[in-house]
Amino acid sequence: MKFGHFDDKAREYVITDPKTPYPWINYLGNEDFFSLVSNTGGGYSFYKDAKFRRLTRYRYNNVPVDNGGKYFYINDGGDVWSPGWKPVKAELDAYSCAHGLSYTRITGERNGIQAEVLSFIPLGTWAEIQKVSLKNTSGAAKKFKLFSFAEWCLWNAEDDMTNFQRNFSTGEVEVEDSVIYHKTEFKERRNHYAFYSVNAPIQGFDTDRDKWKGLYNDFDKPDAVFEGEPRNSEAHGWSPIASHYLEVELAPGESKDLIFVLGYIEVAPENKWESKGVINKSPAKELIARFDSVEKVDAELTKLADYWANLLSTYSVESGDEKLDRMVNIWNQYQCMVTFNMSRSASFFESGIGRGMGFRDSNQDLIGFVHQVPERARERIIDIASTQFEDGSAYHQYQPLTKRGNNAIGGNFNDDPLWLILSTTDYIKETGDFSILEEQVPYDNDASKATSHFEHLKRSFYHTVNNLGPHGLPLIGRADWNDCLNLNCFSEDPNESFQTTGNKTGRTAESLMIAGLFVLYGNEFVKLCREIGQDGEAAEAQAHIDQMVEAVKKHGWDGEWFLRAYDYYGKKVGSKENEEGKIFIESQGFCGMAGIGLEDGLVEKSMDSVKEWLDCDYGIVLQQPAFTKYYIEYGEISTYPAGYKENAGIFCHNNPWIMITETLLGRGDKAFEYYRKIAPAYLEEISDLHKVEPYAYCQMIAGKDAYLPGEGKNSWLTGTASWNFAAITQYILGVKPDYSGLAINPCIPSSWDGFKVTRKYRGATYNITVTNPSHVSKGVKSLTLNGNAIDGYIVPPQQAGTVCNVEVTLG
């Protein structure tokens, strides 16, 4: 069952039934100021950091779902409704919500009034614009009342939800003309305030939530709205809001646009006040003036559309499969921008107060983003590396506002450092910018301890070398990529977090996943060293990699697949000898991508085992058999019910590792079959089961052991976005940047006749046509550049500004 449709031309997903199986959301903003908006107008806004600079309030796990947002209410002669259906939930004569690239347009119509709310955040702007278009679609004149609504968060979103003994006394506002200012704590240490304005005279307002709403009412029944009488309330403490009241008159067929601006302002400490107790409003007024007409707003919308058209033009495919095209050309790239911006902080599953920017997560997010805005990728790499410790280890996350690492969700995840090699080498291959290696980068944000970025990579590599266990395999530490395989954490207290407590600090538990990671990105480190003429460094590193390969073959092969780990007692994890958890996906993916034992058929065998044990209708599950009891020596993984999350859920993040490994084996049919199973556009028809957005990947789909296999959860903020983008574009379609040019080596379903890709790379445009006359999956038989044959499959970088034609024949 579907709840809308894709409009590929407009690059929108258009929801036509407000009662989606879960709130289907969109992200507004691309740089500093962000909003989350659901298909019924729910959501919230923040500046840079969803925890420390939250502008509007949101209640989590609310009842009914998705309650609270930026709402509009229309009172049409006593008939009250909202254009987004919620919160009032009056039946609408027409409803649609178009989620586009960084904008959302919600339209509702009832009794001859059409109201459209178009929300977006202009580029380079710390404000959300809402263009509200009201139209009289009836044959008679209409006179009605419009109320806006936003509820302020008292800035620190966590404190705001917990510290009521203080917060109910601190809220402060000012109202001047049509602008409502939120100035809580401005008097003391905050040099920032927020405002909500409209570009028309108002006939009333409210700033005290409970006076406006009535203490015992929900958002669907605010007294002021239903009585058509604003209270002109002034908030002192309690819960400050911003609600404008406007009386609107429209002749038949007439329409009117209003521009609302929700903005964030920072002022220098010496310029905070206009007069005693009165905030300096001039920067707010300047910001409002930039958007005070429809023409100005439309011009910004055009800029935003151009921005996205340009970003997406870097990689596009014509495959003949519209679902594939819309994933690659629009939605997957869009999600990669969102994960780049948010990491794992703010979604409808991540509260914005829990997790910030993950060390491993943000590095991986870059592989789907670096082609979009390489300069921002570069800055991010340096930010991440700046939180690294001198021994190469890492804080697991940092807060975007401060850019400082913290231990809030633990540390000592021994995979963390290696991901820095992935992001950096991908960046250099994309841009050719080796200068990043010479950048002076601090440790633990202490500039006095800075070294070159290259030295950071070296320490990442040697962090593994310096932390090997009894079998010469990498020690796992707290956990590796799988946050829930906690082999050194024997927890008996249900109030302990597996991420932060109970570490046994053993030096026995080893990870085959990190072993694969080390070989794969260690090889990248060696290649990089050779590129920059550090042959001695390369040779030294190579010796460690060779030893690791030997250790994996000797101690990490279980006969038909790679082991997952050795536990605290030195016992095998992920072996046929185990009763549950015999085979895991991560080590098959990473040892496979690293090509360990490729020549001896190990990789092929392990992929066949994945197919046999882990594959199901909805994707590849994380391990089998699922754990049915709590294993204290394995930790959180065994806490989840079977089929969910890390306990045999379909963790969409690691499915592409298998796709990529299949392409190394030349098995394009299998790779693409796995791709289709989890790519959201292919799941649109089963939206009622899948539950989450058909235009965004989710972290987890319930696996075959679950109560409801196929049900998705935790959409948007997941490494799934970047990894699937890499799998489809670089390995299946096979267009991948390398140091010496653009490699084109597809691995596709044998039934395909071919496809076309346009790739912008280091300033030149490559129009690539791949034909597959003999219906193979892999193998470049010939390649021409502007008609001239090239040996191999790497097209050297062409001059910036030029357009070239590349013809590839498989066979």
Q: Does 636 bind ligand GLC (CB under 6 A)?
A: yes
Q: Nearer to ligand GLC by C-beta: 323 or 344? A: 344
The structure tokens 């890492």 sit at 394
Question: What is the C-alpha separation between 237 and 173, in angstroms, rounded?
Answer: 9
Structure tokens at 630: 């709590």
Exposed/middle/buried for 291, CB within 10 Å: 0-12, 13-18, 19+? buried
* Of the residues 99, 360, 471, 759, which one makes contact with ligand GLC according to CB under 6 A: 360
Beta carbons of 177 and 239 less than 8 angstroms apart: no
Stretch of 76-84, 126-134, 153-161, 353-361 contacting ligand GLC, by CB under 6 A: 353-361
* Of the residues 409, 473, 541, 702, which one makes contact with ligand GLC according to CB under 6 A: 409
Strand spans (E) along 189-337: 192-198, 204-208, 240-250, 255-266, 273-275, 278-279, 315-318
CB burial string 357-386: b at 16+ within 10 A, e below: bbbbbbbbbbbbbbbbbbebbbebbbbbbb
Q: Residue 807: what residue type?
A: E
Q: Does 30 bind ligand GLC (CB under 6 A)?
A: no
Q: Does 699 bind ligand GLC (CB under 6 A)?
A: yes
Q: Does 361 bind ligand GLC (CB under 6 A)?
A: yes
Q: Does 783 bind ligand GLC (CB under 6 A)?
A: no
Q: Does 397 bind ligand GLC (CB under 6 A)?
A: no
Q: How far is the CB of 406 from ligand GLC (least distance, A)?
A: 13
Q: Does 655 bind ligand GLC (CB under 6 A)?
A: no
- Does residue 483 carry a catalytic annotation? yes
Q: Nearer to ligand GLC by C-beta: 173 or 696? A: 696
Q: How far is the CB of 53 from ligand GLC (least distance, A)?
A: 22
Question: What is the C-alpha separation between 71 and 37, in angstroms, rounded?
Answer: 11
Backbone angle region of 403, left / alpha / beta, with phi > 0 → left and psi within -120 to 50 → alpha: left
* Of the residues 171, 358, 680, 710, which one makes contact with ligand GLC according to CB under 6 A: 358
* Of the residues 258, 441, 484, 660, which one makes contact with ligand GLC according to CB under 6 A: 484
Q: Does 483 bind ligand GLC (CB under 6 A)?
A: yes
DSSP-derived 3-state class of residue 572: strand
Q: How far is the CB of 380 from ligand GLC (least distance, A)?
A: 16
Pairing status of strand 278-279 against strand 273-275: antiparallel
CB count within 10 Å of CB 327 equals: 26
Q: How far is the CB of 699 from ligand GLC (least distance, A)?
A: 5
Determine which one of 66, 76, 483, 705 is catalytic: 483
> x/- contact string, 580-619, with ligand GLC (CB under 6 A)?
----------------------------------------
Structure tokens at 93: 């004569």
Structure tokens at 727: 């799998």
Q: Which residue is nearest to ligand GLC (CB)?
A: 483
Question: What is the C-alpha separation between 587 and 573, in angstroms, rounded?
Answer: 11
Stretch of 447-455, 475-483, 508-516, 736-744 contacting ligand GLC, by CB under 6 A: 475-483
Q: Residue 104: what residue type?
A: T
Q: Nearer to ligand GLC by C-beta: 321 or 636? A: 636
CB count within 10 Å of CB 252 equals: 12
Q: Does 662 bind ligand GLC (CB under 6 A)?
A: no
> x/- contact string, 291-330, with ligand GLC (CB under 6 A)?
----------------------------------------
Question: What is the C-alpha separation between 477 and 486, in angstroms, rounded?
Answer: 8
* Of the residues 412, 718, 722, 798, which one makes contact with ligand GLC according to CB under 6 A: 718
Q: How far is the CB of 622 from ligand GLC (least distance, A)?
A: 9
Q: What is the DSSP string of 146-195?
A: EEEEEEEEEE-HHHHTT-HHHHTTT-BEEEETTEEEE-TTTTTT--EEEE
Stretch of 209-217, 355-363, 460-468, 540-548 contacting ligand GLC, by CB under 6 A: 355-363
Question: What is the C-alpha separation between 194 and 184, in angstroms, rounded?
Answer: 9
> x/- contact string, 493-512, with ligand GLC (CB under 6 A)?
------x-------------
Stretch of 26-34, 200-208, 481-489, 609-617 contacting ligand GLC, by CB under 6 A: 481-489
**Interface residues toward ligand GLC, by CB under 6 A:** 344, 358, 360-361, 409, 481-484, 499, 636, 645-646, 653, 699, 718
Q: Catalytic amino acids?
A: 483
